[in-house]
A and B are shown apart, each in its own frame.
Chain A
Amino acid sequence: MGYPHKPHPRETAILSKHFGEADARSYKGWVKRGGYEVLPTALAMEPGKIIDIVKESGLRGRGGAGFPTGLKWSFMPKERKKPHYLCVNADESEPGTFKDREIMRWTPHALLEGTAIAAHAIQAEVTYIYIRGEFTEPYATMEKALAEASAAGVFGKIKIHLHRGAGAYICGEETALMNSIEGKRGNPRIKPPFPAAAGLFGMPTTINNVETLAAVPHILKEGAAWYKGLSLASPKSTGTKLFSVCGHVTQPGNYEVTMGFPLKELLYDLCGGMRPGRTLKACIPGGSSVPILNRDETEGCLLDYEGVIEKGSMLGSGGVIVFDDSADMVYQIMRLARFYAHESCAQCTQCREGTAWTTKILERILAGQGKMADLDLLLDLSENMTGKTICVLSDSCAAPVVSGIKKFRSEFEDYIAGKRRPVMVA
């Protein structure tokens, strides 16, 4: 449901069904809506059984990478020689993405219930929900919900802690998040070891996204087959997905649709299309870190993991950023690069220096001081920043630059040739 807009009949509201209902935030209100119904059954189940159900459902990580959730859970050691941890990634910071925020604001108990089930499935006694520092309202809501549910004793022996971030984008990277919880600088770690072997405090850890876990109670309640059936295109992408649509559409907001829903229909039917007199120029389908799609590529693009890859981008977090023909793509890409340059953790050379240099070149092009050779330099730099670093932040900076130059080269050339009025950027 595209809260605050009215729900659209073409949405499949499962996670967002109770968005906007203040009463759903309370424990009582949530129980009234069928919440915590499945939890006692789940906690009494054999952990391996839950993992099998989630595997069978086809649920994949909603944080961006789309890794099969049940498979991830199954990586945890079977023998419990060390304490197990569950981390919930609620550090939603990807530009253009605001779905987890709404889940926590309106349905905090959905996340808590999914968290408890996941903790049981991986045999974790301690769980940390790492909430983005700027999410003050969602944090307060979660805090209240956790207190109420804990008082009701629904979690058994599972301990759930809320942990607030301090404003770094990189702490949404899973290993940086773990460092941050440990009280260290939020630097991504080299892998291996992977979290399932040595994660939080060096112990076996699973980390899941908010939206992923919020879907788990539904899967246990309605069955894997039901969830698997929610698929319009590729059978490898199942369930529903929240898309945070922002930018040049008349009704931006969160929309929940079944996997495989056509992008064009999301933008035109659900989001009301472009502003009057404007046409679609470009769209970033999965948060700022994925390649930009041009208008042609949005045609026939199906919103599931496979469908977006087919068009040369990625489903990512489901943060859909829409640009109409008034958008200055050079400026937009500079803004993205500047964001990454600001947020680079400074570990890897390519990222620390490359993101800043990329930004400087883009600023110079915008200021009318660019040279044609700058475009090749940007592409060469981006090549250097792709696939060579600890995490993918530098790849994320390179992706829009490479796709931007490839698909909107003339806009860059116009600035360089002096055909566009220079933009001075501070």
Chain B
Amino acid sequence: MTDDLINLTIDGVPVSVPKGTLVIEAAKQAGVLVPHYCYHPGLPVAGLCRMCLVEIEKQPKLAIACATQVAEGMAVKTQTPQARSARTGVLELLLINHPLDCPICDQAGECELQDFVFQEGRPGTRYAEYAKRFNPVEDFGPDVLYVPNRCILCTRCVRFMEDVAREPVLNVSERGDRAYIGIHSEARLDHPWAGNVVDLCPVGSLLSKDFLHKARAWELDKTASVCTGCSQGCNVTLDTRENVVVRVRPRPNLEVNRYFICDHGRMNYRWMNRGDRIEAPLVRRDGELHATDWDEACERAAALLRGAGGKAVALVSPRASTEALYLARELFTGREWTGAFQVVMGEEAPLAGVPNLALRAERAPNGAGAELLGYSRDYAAAVQAAESAALVLVLDEPETTVRTAGSLIYVGTALPEGARGAEVVLPIANAAEEDGTYVNRDGRVQRYCQAKPAPGMARPAWWVLSELLVALGGSRGEHLASAAEAFDQLAAAVPAFAGLSYTSLGLVGQGVNTEVRVPA
């Protein structure tokens, strides 16, 4: 193994990296970020912005770190006067036609042009006597605007569409300083993954219409999460502003989504902010639902569970966390029950240039988790079984209409008309409001984190269900303090999760043993 490692130094810091590594990536390992624009680890190397020029000992000319492979004994110096002056020169040239309209630019605060100019740029311009190049804003597609005046022609967007999306609708049009990003005259930037060009754009040239003028970058809080749009399980960052999710962006995970997410997932966040939420536990008294505290609600629900002698049915959402699905199952230990989940289907949309990455037809982030825990896909049968069941538990299926002769316990974020016959309603947090895990279609368990508080008295489903288990009495009940505790309990109990711990999952997840099936 060590034979394949190349030893070099970056600004005097020794690093050992695999053969074939680019200097710019080796530098990251030494804690050095070489300023760059056109380079992106998810795209083919273009080597054209010339920003990452560094000095390499014994080489006559400066080299671009993004296209130079490491070599044994190489000494890379990023801070020599020559290298710094070359980069300062590039920055000056990038700015001569740049409008410097940061105050009204969405990218401000997360702009690589701002950052590197601040770091290495000249204090003033020498390009004073001339008008700047001007081109009008262009509407590229359903969610993408092109502001050519801010463009630095790094071609990340062009390369993404050509080499990753494999739908080459963008190009560099014209030459010299007249160049701009062009779009095919008969095409729109409407590929299902086109929104990635906005993330890839290092400046404010490609903008999301959805996010346009919605928030300043420095007002945003960022939370690691997992996309709930389909069963792929792309890693995302939820950007919140004052506890409202305002943007979803991809979070790199080389095993799942590399650096990208699809537009469906990108736009799939408004439900996280919906206002018509259940904010307190409700219990049926004199034929009406009344707000109450958690103690009474749990007691009432436990009493229903104890009292209902016949068959129980659980209708669960594939958006529920693995922990909640596990604890819901535990409620029925020792009795006859069936559980099922419903999967909404849509069109599959692959990202051609990345193997095994697509917007999946199954729009369910945790269908695999539900299956591993013994829930059935035969939702219709379960809905039918519910009619004659003694007890029905619904876990966050707001679209469901439940008809049952028995008692209904509704655990959910919002209360649908069809569930108003419930005896007990327990309000829970949605995926943006809790910690938890999902299992994607490839059996990878991935954590998502709480991005904003749940409304009112709503609590994470793992907490609600664990309290319910405690109220039920018996040996299984245990007060749980975190999703981590809930997961670790699940991992100890369910063979498919054996050996995993919440901590070891980290933020990129780990695979389950998908061969192991747990009987329902």
List the A residue with the shortest CB-CB distance to B180.
Answer: A346
Q: Which among B45, B129, B176 has the greatest number of chain A C-beta atoms within 10 A? A: B176
Q: Is B130 in the interface zone, CB < 8 Å from A? A: yes
Q: Which of B87-95, B315-323, B472-480, B506-514 contacts A (4 or more CB under 8 A)?
A: B87-95
- Pick from A346, A356, A360, A383: contact of B153, CB below 8 A: A346
- Whether A190 lies near B96 (C-beta < 8 A) is no
- Whether B50 lies near A388 (C-beta < 8 A) is yes
- Pick from A185, A343, A381, A389: contact of B50, CB below 8 A: A389
- Whether A349 lies near B94 (C-beta < 8 A) is yes
Q: Which of B167-175, B233-241, B448-456, B491-499 contacts A (4 or more CB under 8 A)?
A: B167-175
List the B residue with the shortest CB-CB distance to A369.
Answer: B129
- Whether A387 lies near B175 (C-beta < 8 A) is no
List the A residue with the shortest CB-CB distance to B47.
Answer: A190
- Pick from B46, B61, B94, B152: contact of A387, CB below 8 A: B61
Chain B, residues 121-138, CB within 8 Å of chain A (1/0): the string is 000001101100000000
Interface residues on B, range: 35 or more
Please give, as numbers and ranges, the residues of chain B lying within 8 Å of A377 by CB-CB distance. Answer: 126
Please give, as numbers and ranges, the residues of chain A lying within 8 Å of B50 by CB-CB distance. Answer: 348-350, 388-389
Interface of B: prevailing SS: loop
Please give, as numbers and ranges, the residues of chain B lying within 8 Å of A352 by CB-CB distance. Answer: 93, 153, 176-177, 179
- Whether B51 lies near A349 (C-beta < 8 A) is yes
Chain A, residues 331-370, CB within 8 Å of chain B (1/0): the string is 0000000000111111111101111110010001000010
List the B residue with the shortest CB-CB distance to A376.
Answer: B126
- Whether B176 lies near A343 (C-beta < 8 A) is yes
Q: Is B48 in the interface zone, CB < 8 Å from A? A: yes
Please give, as numbers and ranges, the residues of chain B lying within 8 Å of A350 by CB-CB distance. Answer: 50, 89-90, 93
List the B residue with the shortest CB-CB distance to A386.
Answer: B61
- Which parts of B60-82 form the interface with A (CB within 8 Å)? 61-62, 64, 67
- Whether B49 lies near A349 (C-beta < 8 A) is yes
A346 in contact with B175 given A387-B61, A390-B48 (CB within 8 Å): yes
Chain B, residues 434-462, CB within 8 Å of chain A (1/0): the string is 00000000000000000000000000000
Chain A, residues 3-27, CB within 8 Å of chain B (1/0): the string is 0000000000000000000000000
Chain B, residues 420-442, CB within 8 Å of chain A (1/0): the string is 00000000000000000000000
- Whether B89 lies near A384 (C-beta < 8 A) is yes
Please give, as numbers and ranges, the residues of chain B lying within 8 Å of A384 by CB-CB distance. Answer: 85-86, 89-90, 93
- Which parts of B134-159 form the interface with A (CB within 8 Å)? 152-153, 155
Chain B, residues 90-110, CB within 8 Å of chain A (1/0): the string is 100110110000000000000
Q: Is B194 in the interface zone, CB < 8 Å from A? A: no
Please give, as numbers and ranges, the residues of chain B lying within 8 Å of A357 by CB-CB distance. Answer: 93, 96, 127
Q: Is B53 in the interface zone, CB < 8 Å from A? A: yes
Q: Which among B46, B67, B93, B97 has the greatest number of chain A C-beta atoms within 10 A? A: B93
- Whether B62 lies near A349 (C-beta < 8 A) is no
Please give, as numbers and ranges, the residues of chain B lying within 8 Å of A388 by CB-CB distance. Answer: 50, 53, 61-62, 86, 89
For the A-B complex, the count of residue pairs with Cβ-Cβ distances under 8 Å equals 88
Shortest CB–CB separation between residue B94 and chain A, in angstroms? 6
- Whether A342 lies near B129 (C-beta < 8 A) is no
- Whether B176 lies near A341 (C-beta < 8 A) is yes
A342 in contact with B130 given A349-B49, A350-B50 (CB within 8 Å): no
A383 CA / B94 CA spacing, docked (Å): 16
Shortest CB–CB separation between residue A175 and chain B, in angstroms? 12
Please give, as numbers and ranges, the residues of chain A lying within 8 Å of B153 by CB-CB distance. Answer: 346-347, 349, 352
- Pick from A185, A190, A355: contact of B45, CB below 8 A: A190
- Pick from A190, A355, A383: contact of B176, CB below 8 A: A355
- Whether B129 lies near A364 (C-beta < 8 A) is yes
- Whether A349 lies near B152 (C-beta < 8 A) is yes
- Which parts of B265-290 form the interface with A (CB within 8 Å)? none
A381 CA / B90 CA spacing, docked (Å): 10
- Whether B93 lies near A349 (C-beta < 8 A) is yes
A349 CA / B96 CA spacing, docked (Å): 11
Shortest CB–CB separation between residue B62 and chain A, in angstroms? 6
Please give, as numbers and ranges, the residues of chain A lying within 8 Å of B86 by CB-CB distance. Answer: 384, 388
- Whether A185 lies near B62 (C-beta < 8 A) is no
A353 in contact with B47 given A342-B176, A360-B130 (CB within 8 Å): no
Shortest CB–CB separation between residue B184 and chain A, in angstroms? 14
Shortest CB–CB separation between residue B173 and chain A, in angstroms? 9
Q: Which among B64, B126, B172, B175 has the greatest number of chain A C-beta atoms within 10 A? A: B175
- Pick from A344, A346, A353: contact of B94, CB below 8 A: A353
- Pick from A190, A341, A353, A389: contact of B97, CB below 8 A: A353
- Pick from B47, B126, B179: contact of A346, CB below 8 A: B179
- Whether A356 lies near B176 (C-beta < 8 A) is yes
Please give, as numbers and ranges, the residues of chain A lying within 8 Å of B67 by CB-CB distance. Answer: 190
Which 5 A-B pairs have CB atoms at the shortest separation, nearest pair first?
Answer: A346-B179, A384-B89, A356-B177, A353-B93, A347-B48
14 contacting pairs across A/B (C-beta < 8 A): A185-B171, A190-B67, A344-B177, A346-B179, A349-B90, A349-B93, A350-B90, A352-B93, A353-B96, A354-B93, A384-B85, A384-B90, A387-B61, A387-B62
